[in-house]
A and B are shown apart, each in its own frame.
Chain A
Amino acid sequence: MNPENLVRVAFRALQRNKLRAFLTMLGIIIGVAAVITMMSIGEGSKQSIQTSLSNMGSNMITVMPSSNMPGVRMAGSNFQTLTLNDVKAIERDASDVASVSPQVASSGQAIKGALNWSSSIQGVSPEYLDIRKLKLKDGIIFSEEDVRSSAKVCLLGQTVVKNLFSSGENPIGQIIRFQKIPFQVIGILEEKGQSSFGQDQDDIILAPYTTVMKRVLATTYLQSIYASAVSEAASDAATNQITSILRQTHRLRTDEEDDFSVRTQAELIKTLGSTSSMLTGLLTAVASISLVIGGIGIMNIMYVSVTERTKEIGLRMSIGARGIDILLQFLIEAILISVTGGLIGVFIGVSASLTIASLLNWPTIISESSIIISFIVCALTGIFFGYYPAQKASELDPIEALRYE
């Protein structure tokens, strides 16, 4: 029998039992739709985590103080191991570091007129904006001169602006008080939204580090150092350079542990990326199980169908069907069921992903590969689970099949 006739014969056989064909398909439809939806949700959340992390600066490096002493250990910011000298040394000697900024912070109440807001002030250098990928919406960034003179100027995040100023009021040039110290607002930052950890990135007040260190905290130690590598790829090299520079400036012997820790954003992205990959894998695995069950459904129905249609098989053989014709007919029936089911499943899966994205606001990404893979898998499922019943049908003895009641 030529291929066209084979497909036609199989198609007509399915047409004769539309409801059953559809019910058989249902397993595959649900399986494929589930795989595509799950993969799109997994892929979407992975992508959104990665995007929000790179928005924080994908080549960002943070140095935190830590203790190398035995005994009671305290929170990182309480260690006094990082100084401005460290920052200068990194600036001077680390060739893979593009820019570097010291960081000190103090939380407290910001007051403007009758309004007040509990926030924290960050003492940084102008490079900090670059490192954290913060953009200025309005006004100017404080200058090196402001840093040198410990000027009482600050930049505000959108949340702070909203809480301290009535709408329509221009904050630029106005004075706010932070811990009773007056700061002049010279710039406003663009909105950044929540970080992937749920932290409000707009609840921020930036001031020259010298100002915060001298006037607010009265300290000479830094809470952390922010740096950016020249590129994301250079993150590891930059980390190594910073580590060796700091060991030198801190005069640590080779057998001593570091009294600081260096983290890169790339590392974090990688870790979170692999976590969400695992999540995607898990979701897909669960969805795949339903696809396999759908396949078993096909096998079940095809098996029943062969028994039920024994007489038809006998007739077909008596009018000239060869074993291979019968085998191919049943196999093609199974493939038609699974491929049609697959197509419907793709359609439903894609619609479900889009619906989830628009109704629940979850990020979903429908990748072509998930469609292609699940489609191929379901075609293979049809072949795999359709083969055994088809094989059984083709081996029937025409004489006995004709007499079967």
Chain B
Amino acid sequence: MNRKILEIQNLKREFIVGSETVRALKGVSFNVEAGEFVTIMGSSGSGKTTLLNILGCLDKPTEGIYLLDSVNIKDLNKNELARLRNTKIGFVFQAYNLLPRTSALENVELPLFYNSSISAKERKERAMYALEAVKLADRLDHTPNQLSGGQQQRVAIARALVNEPVMILADEATGNLDTRTSYEIMALMQELNQQQDKTIVFVTHEPDIASFSSRTIMLRDGRLQKDSINENRKSAREALDTLPATDDY
């Protein structure tokens, strides 16, 4: 059996808005093992953002157990959560969230600045390595406004990889991209998952994106609606080839 990266049991999250209590998550349970590529789907209001925040250790559940790489986050304070985010999670955002006027290399280095055990030399080496992994080794000095959307997202993925996290957590990572670029990003994600055995949790509401993953979790109204293994997982690389050429207009 593979080691469990995520263990979630009966997770609940309630918000108090005015005098009302909004129950965003009403008892969600699932596990994610190392090497899985999980998409979390659901319409707006399904609780997927709340779940993502908890999975990303930005928020804590009201009730239930969440173990990230066997660490119970319930017992951790703010600073310990920050440390956990720094060492165990790699975030990829919809809007890339790269620092403006900062080179790709420095953007990728950023998480390592917050880890004192890494020397300046190692920081740079690892950032270069991560940029190579996303095939941007020739764009080290480019600032975000010199890069296309897809390239920016790849820099963001490199930034998520650089701290060697146990899990990459992507939040609508293809949401701002056209289909072709989305597929390119998904091809990269699949490559990282299959060749480098990275565990990926990908939040999306696009079904065709979900079809590239190995497993889909559907949320609805704060509950787990469906948790299914994708039997016929599509290859994003192949899907890319079937797309019409970009210069057809």
Contacts and interface: CB of A to CB of B under 8 A. Distances in A.
A404 to B, nearest CB: 11
Given A1-B113, A319-B111, A12 B106 contact: yes
A146 B97 CA distance: 99
B99 A312 contact: yes
Nearest to B116: A2
Given A2-B116, A8-B113, A315-B97, A320 B102 contact: no
A319 B59 CA distance: 14
B53 A319 contact: no
B37 interface: no
Contacts of B56: 318
Interface string B47-82: 000000100101100000000000000000011001
Nearest to B80: A322
B110 interface: yes
Interface string B95-136: 001011110001000110111100010000000000000000
Nearest to A325: B114
A25 B196 CA distance: 48
B223 interface: no
B113 A5 contact: yes
B82 A399 contact: no
Contacts of B113: 1, 5, 8-9
Most buried by A among B83, B110, B113, B159: B113
Given A16-B100, A311-B97, A319 B114 contact: yes
Interface string A313-325: 0111111111111
Contact of B111 (A312, A320, A402): A320
Contacts of B159: 319
Given A8-B113, A9-B113, A320 B97 contact: no
Given A16-B102, A318-B56, A322-B82, A402 B93 contact: yes
A4 B163 CA distance: 19
A-side interface mostly: helix
A320 B113 CA distance: 9
Contacts of B106: 12
A349 interface: no
Contact of B53 (A315, A316, A399): A399
A398 interface: yes
B86 interface: yes
B212 interface: no
A66 B56 CA distance: 94
B238 to A, nearest CB: 33
Given A16-B99, A319-B85, A5 B116 contact: yes
Interface residues of B, number: 28
A16 B102 CA distance: 7
B110 A316 contact: yes
Interface in A365-405: 398-399, 402
Nearest to A5: B113
A320 B83 contact: yes
Contacts of A16: 99-102
Contacts of A8: 113
A322 B93 contact: no
Interface string A256-297: 000000000000000000000000000000000000000000
Contact of A1 (B100, B114, B163): B114
Interface of B: 53, 56, 58-59, 78-79, 82-83, 85-87, 91, 93, 97, 99-102, 106, 110-111, 113-116, 120, 159, 163
Interface of A: 1-2, 4-5, 8-9, 12, 16-17, 311-312, 314-325, 398-399, 402
Given A314-B97, A320-B85, A320-B114, 17 more contacts: A1-B116, A9-B113, A16-B102, A17-B101, A315-B93, A319-B91, A319-B110, A319-B159, A320-B111, A320-B115, A321-B82, A321-B114, A323-B79, A323-B82, A399-B58, A402-B58, A402-B93
Of all A-B residue pairs in the complex, the 10 with the closest CB atoms, nearest first, are A320-B86, A319-B111, A320-B114, A16-B101, A322-B82, A2-B116, A315-B97, A322-B79, A5-B113, A320-B85
